[in-house]
Amino acid sequence: MAQFQRIGVVARLRHREVVETLDRLVAFLKRDGRTVLAERDTAELLADHSIEVVDRRTLSPDSLDLVIVVGGDGSMLGAARALADLGVPLLGLNRGRLGFLADIPPEEMEQGIGRVLSGEYQLSERFLLAMDVHRNGGVAASGIAANDMVLHPGRSVRMMEFELYVDGQFVYSQHSDGLIISTPTGSTAYALSAGGPIMHPKLDAIVLVPMNPHSLNSRPIVIDGNSLIEIRVGTRNELHPTITCDGQYEIITEQDDIIRIHKKPRPVRLIHPMGHNFYQVCRTKLGWGSRLDSVRHDDRDSGAAAE
Residues annotated as catalytic (active site), given as ranges:
73
User: Within its chain, how far is the Cα of 116 from the centroid?
Assistant: 21
- Residue 292 CA to residue 35 CA, distance in Å, equals 48
3-state secondary structure at position 301: helix
Give every CB contact of residue 236 below 8 A, 6+ residues apart in sequence. 161
Contact present, 180 and 209 (Cβ < 8 Å): yes
- Residue 266 CA to residue 220 CA, distance in Å, equals 26
Closest CA to 211 of 253, 237, 241, 170: 241
- Residue 77 CA to residue 68 CA, distance in Å, equals 13
CA dist 118 → 1, 106, 112, 113, 130 (Å):
11, 18, 10, 9, 35
Contact present, 18 and 70 (Cβ < 8 Å): yes
